[in-house]
């Protein structure tokens, strides 16, 4: 089973960035622990700060992977293009957010991804990713 985690802008700074909001752990160490926990899954990870690169990756994986776990970060609230890409592909996409975007500024309450996502997991910290993975493995 091929599953990819795609992270958007500034998520390469996890561990250093606003730890009160996003926690102290960097994503690489979280991802490696997740991979060790699920050794039989072909689990990969891609991060970019560039909108078009995220769209390219969604298109590249979106017709033969079994699942995409997408945290488009700030682009969630601005990108019609990423929303369209999620709509265009056949691979189911689960939208995740580390923080509870609904308890934050109102501009974070809008998502261009959610209408096209299979499901949305918000505000459960890095555990949000594992819960999305759990869904793909247990559906
Ligand atoms: C985020 C929430 C977004 O509003 C923010 O721009 C991010 C991270 C989250 O995971 O909580 O960069 O997607």
* pLDDT number for residue 55: 99
Report helix angle 27-37 to 127-138, nearest 10: 30
Catalytic residue among 22, 30, 45, 75: 22
Rounded to whole angstroms, how far apart are CA atoms 26 and 91?
Answer: 27
Model confidence over 49-108: pLDDT tens digits? Answer: 999 999 999 999 999 999 999 999 999 999 999 999 999 999 999 999 999 999 999 999
% of the chain surpassing 90 pLDDT: 98
Domain count, the chain: 1
Residue carrying structure tokens 């033969």: 64
Q: Which domain holds residue 11?
A: 2-138
Q: If you take atom 13 of ligand 1, which residue's CA is the nearest one?
A: 73
CATH number of the domain that residue 91 is part of: 3.40.50.9100
Which residues have C-beta within 8 Å of that of residue 17, sequence separation ≥ 6? Answer: 10
Global pTM? 0.97
Q: Is residue 10 within 6 Å of ligand 1 at its C-beta?
A: yes
* pLDDT number for residue 6: 99
For residue 71, say whether it is annotated as part of any ligand binding site. yes
Rounded to whole angstroms, how far apart are CA atoms 135 and 139?
Answer: 6
User: How many Cβ atoms sit within 10 Å of the Cβ of residue 8?
Assistant: 22
């Amino acid at each position: 089973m091929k599953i990819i985690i795609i992270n958007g802008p500034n998520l390469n700074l996890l561990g250093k960035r606003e730890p009160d909001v996003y926690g102290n752990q960097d994503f690489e160490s979280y991802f490696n622990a997740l991979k060790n926990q699920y050794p039989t899954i072909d689990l990969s990870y891609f991060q970019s700060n560039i909108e078009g690169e995220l769209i390219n990756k969604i298109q590249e994986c979106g017709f033969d992977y079994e699942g995409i776990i997408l945290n488009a970060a700030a682009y969630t609230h601005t990108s019609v293009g990423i929303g369209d890409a999620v709509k265009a592909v056949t691979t189911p996409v689960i939208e995740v957010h580390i923080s509870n975007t609904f308890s934050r500024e109102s501009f974070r309450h809008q998502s261009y991804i959610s209408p096209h996502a299979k499901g949305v997991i918000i505000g459960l910290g890095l555990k949000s990713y594992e819960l999305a993975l759990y869904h793909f493995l247990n559906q």
